[in-house]
Amino acid sequence: MLVEDNYITISEPFSDWVDGLFEYRAIVPTSFGVDTAKYYYGLNYHNDPFDRAIVATALQLDLPLVSNDARMHEHKPCKLFWD
């Protein structure tokens, strides 16, 4: 959506860009399953469903997020970095 709305630009086709992300061993795809949905249910602090899904996934996997999203930092739904 950020690319489509011209908030960010990438220098290659989107599908190639996504494939390139997973060449880094630190970036591992994960699915949104039942356990993640249980975390998602209680995250009413944010209206953006994608941000809620990202936070729910971080909680379910017990991983911190790197984000400068002001709402996330105000409510601290999970471990956050980037002040």
Domain boundaries defined on the chain: 30-81
In this prediction, residue 19 carries a pLDDT of 92
65 beta partners: 80
pLDDT tens per residue, range 10-49: 999 999 999 999 999 888 888 889 989 998 988 887 788 8
Give the whole-angstrom CA distance, residue 80 versus residue 83.
9
Question: Among residues 21, 44, 41, which one has the least CA distance to residue 32?
Answer: 41
* Whole-prediction pTM: 0.72
pLDDT tens per residue, range 42-70: 888 778 888 889 889 999 999 898 888 88
pLDDT grade for 83, boundaries at 50, 70 and 90: low
